[in-house]
């Protein structure tokens, strides 16, 4: 089991052919993996979807913040 408190882990993600690095705490990487698996899509595709929603926001947050908020809002 992933420890509750752990520094962010940086991973590379490809979104629409563009590579970017995202730093998330392990618990959020676990949540992202689980959500992608439950929806039957690769993590990159799910992150691309979250990124598209983020860009549409009036004041777009950073991608890592958008991922965290998206994951938490889906678990309620």
Q: In the structure, what pLDDT confidence band is assigned to residue 58 with cuts at 50, 70 and 90?
A: very high
Residue 35 structural domain: 9-74
Is 59 a domain residue? yes
3 inside domain: no
- Specify the pLDDT at position 59: 94
- Can you tell me the distance from the alpha carbon of 58 to that of 2, in angstroms, rounded to the nearest whole number? 34
The model carries a pTM of 0.89
Q: Mean pLDDT across the stretch 10-20?
A: 93
- Distance (Å, whole) CA 75 – CA 73: 6
Q: How far apart are CA 17 and CA 46, in angstroms?
A: 14
CATH code of residue 34: 1.10.3990.20
């Amino acid at each position: 089991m992933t420890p509750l408190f752990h520094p962010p882990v940086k991973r590379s993600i490809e979104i629409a052919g563009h590579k970017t690095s995202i730093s998330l705490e392990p618990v959020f990487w676990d949540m992202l993996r689980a959500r992608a698996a439950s929806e039957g899509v690769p993590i990159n595709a799910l992150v691309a979807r979250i990124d598209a929603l983020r860009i549409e926001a009036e004041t777009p947050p950073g991608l890592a913040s958008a991922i965290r908020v998206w994951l938490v809002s889906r678990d309620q």
